[in-house]
Amino acid sequence: MDTQHRADASAVAAAFGMSGLNARSLRQQLLTWLVAPLAVLLVAGTLFSYWVALRSATITYDRALLDPALALAEHVDSENGSTVLDLPKVAQDVLRIDSYDRIYFSVSRLNGELLAGQPEMPAPPPVVPVGHRTFYYGTVNAERVRIAALYVPQPNGPVVIQVAETMVKRNRLTREILIGETVPDLMIATMAMVLVWLGILRSLAPLERLRTEIAQRSARDLRPLDGSYAPSEVRPLVGTLNELLGDLRDALDAQQRFTANAAHQLRTPLAGLQTQVELALRQPASESMLRSLHQLRSATVRAAHLANQLLALSRAEPGGRRPDALRTIDLRSIAQDAASIWVPRALPKDLDLGFELATAPTVGDARLLRDLLDNLIENAIRYTPAGGSITVRTAVEDDAAVLSVVDDGPGIALDQREQVFQRFYRVPGATGDGSGLGLAIVQEIVNAHQARITIEDGPDGRGTLIRVYFAKAPPGQPPAA
């Protein structure tokens, strides 16, 4: 029944185009819309602040690199038409001291003629720049360097002082800026993601609760959903679902009323028919006439039984139940009432129908409980071969009021134990006339009482043992008479 229900649900989903393939999860969508822009923002922000920081660091280091060039410029002298660097070797070495980088310098003419310093210096730009100074990157001794070039005017043409320094300081600063910028940003982004994820989980919790509430329901439970805890965005959905459930409930109620009325209407003419057949059977008649009348009688009895079963089924369905009929009731008294009807019916088949009754109070609808017991006893009598024995028991076990019927008949095969509860289902080859509704009625009544039913082998692995577990009535309330 459950599988059927689920199959129906997926068919409905497919009919509405809600296939799982194109319907991405809300969680996934929210994350995609948050993570992707956040990642782009993070990268763009880091790049931008890196660029700004690098620029100002370069300007600062460049300014520092110019200092030795200016100091050297003080000592460039022109004597007798030739330009020289008038600085002792020791002082030159002092200018080249740095704790991180190697520093090189050169003094040369614009045409590249070296006057002093490092011969491997790259050639300076041959045109004197505005402000007489410029900075650029180059290579010295196969090492990348930053170079400051200072143009100093001299009587016999300008000279260029170049000071170059390796990139150790600058690279280290770049690294530090990069880490300093990225790590806090990454931490903030991660925190934001975690918070968003938690937020999503929290906001989706009411939907999850709604899903559980719907999933736990049986196919026939059409009570309105409780949407009070749902966020305002979801409440209209719950409202619409409840309207749909209401419409379904009305439709099922109408169907249930129709079945009940039809069965009820059938009963009167069938009873009349039965009386007439009984009367006719008492009249003198030919052999063949009698045979026909006997067949007519058993067909009428079958039809009347079917009408009764349909009526009992519609009484047990959700639309036919009467909540005001629920009382604290002792299963023992239900069984006692049934005994007087069923013991005489078991006699012709030479069945030993016994009752072992202990008090078993529960809350239930006496009429439905009686329908349930009648169907179980009727089955036992119908399917147990002559000479067999049947026992009806009521008792309290742990927290349950238990009603059981056990027989030593043919039993119900393991693979049939779910199907026998389906409407109009009869085990293939089952003896006797039956409409296949008895256990469906029992199942509805079990559902109506939120009880539980089990089918097992009887003692010694023979026969059928059916047990129904009802909630035990709370103590203190006297069972209704």
Ligand X SMILES: Nc1ncnc2c1ncn2[C@@H]1O[C@H](COP(=O)(O)OP(=O)(O)OP(=O)(O)O)[C@@H](O)[C@H]1O
Q: Supply the minimum distance, in Å, between the C-beta of residue 433 and ligand X.
A: 7
- In order of 80, 198, 199, 307, the CA distances from 189 in angstroms are 69, 14, 15, 71
In this structure, how many other beta carbons lie within 10 angstroms of the beta carbon of residue 171?
A: 13
For the chain, how long is the longest CA-to-CA vector? 166
d(CA 366, CA 330): 9
Tokens representing residue 312 in the block: 């009992």
Q: What minimum distance in Å lies between the beta carbon of 477 and ligand X? A: 33
Which of 124, 438, 458, 463 lies at the binding interface for Mg ion (CB under 5 A)? Answer: 438
**Residue 378 is which amino acid?**
E
Q: How far is the CB of 265 from ligand X (least distance, A)?
A: 20
Q: How far apart are CA 221 and CA 447, in angstroms?
A: 10
**Residue 420 within binding range of ligand X, rule CB under 6 A:** yes
Choose among Mg ion, ligand X, none what residue 391 binds, the Cβ cut-off being 5 to 8 Å by kind. none
Residue 394 binds ligand X (CB under 6 A) = no
Q: Which stretch binds Mg ion (CB under 5 A): 33-41, 82-90, 371-379, 441-449?
A: 371-379
Q: Does 410 bind ligand X (CB under 6 A)?
A: yes
Which residue, 364 or 409, is less far from ligand X as judged by CB? 409
- Write down the least CB distance from residue 19 to ligand X, Å: 38
Using CB under 6 A as the criterion, what x/- string covers residues 365-384 for binding ligand X? ----------x---xx--x-
Contact of residue 230 among ligand X, Mg ion, none (CB under 5-8 Å per partner type): none
* Total residues found in the chain within this entry: 481
Neighbour-count burial for 379-405, b at 16+ CB within 10 Å, e otherwise: bbbbbbeeebbbbbbbbbeeebbbbbb
Q: Which of 238, 368, 412, 453 binds ligand X (CB under 6 A)?
A: 412
DSSP-assigned letter for residue 472:
B
In the list ligand X, Mg ion, none, the entry touching 443 (Cβ below 5 to 8 angstroms by class) is none
User: With binding defined as CB under 5 A, does residue 464 bind Mg ion?
Assistant: no
CA 463 from centroid of its chain's CA atoms: 43
Q: Which residues contact 265 (CB under 8 A, 6 or more apart)?
A: none
**How many binding residues for ligand X (CB under 6 A)?**
22
Taking CB under 6 A as the rule, does residue 263 contact ligand X? no
Q: Which long-range contacts (CB under 8 A, 24 or more apart) does 171-180 make?
A: 172/100, 173/57, 173/61, 174/50, 174/54, 174/57, 177/49, 177/50, 177/53, 177/54, 177/57, 178/46, 178/50
Residue 261: CB minimum distance to Mg ion, A: 23
Q: Are 221 and 249 in contact (CB under 8 A)?
A: no
Shortest reach from residue 459's CB to Mg ion, in Å: 22
**Closest approach of Mg ion to the CB of residue 389, in Å:** 19
The residue within the footprint of Mg ion, chosen from 379, 391, 394, 443 (CB under 5 A), is: 379
Residues 303-362 that bind ligand X (CB under 6 A): 309
Taking CB under 6 A as the criterion, which residues in 174-233 touch ligand X? none
Q: Does 388 bind Mg ion (CB under 5 A)?
A: no
Binding mask 391-420 for Mg ion (x = CB under 5 A): ------------------------------
**Which one among 69, 238, 437, 453 touches ligand X, defined by CB under 6 A?**
437
No. of helices (H) and no. of strands (E), the chain: 9, 14
Q: Is 426 in the site for ligand X (CB under 6 A)?
A: yes
Q: Which residue is nearest to ligand X (CB)?
A: 438
Site membership for ligand X, residue 150 (CB under 6 A) = no
Among Mg ion, ligand X, none, what does residue 256 contact (CB within 5–8 Å per kind)?
Answer: none
**454 CB contacts (<8 Å, ≥6 apart)?**
466, 467, 469
β-sheet bridge partners, residue 453: 468
The answer to whether 458 contacts Mg ion (rule: CB under 5 A) is: no
Angle, CA of 413, 416 and 419, to the nearest 5° = 160
For ligand X, the binding residues (CB under 6 A) are: 309, 375, 379-380, 383, 407, 409-412, 420, 426-427, 430, 434-440, 464
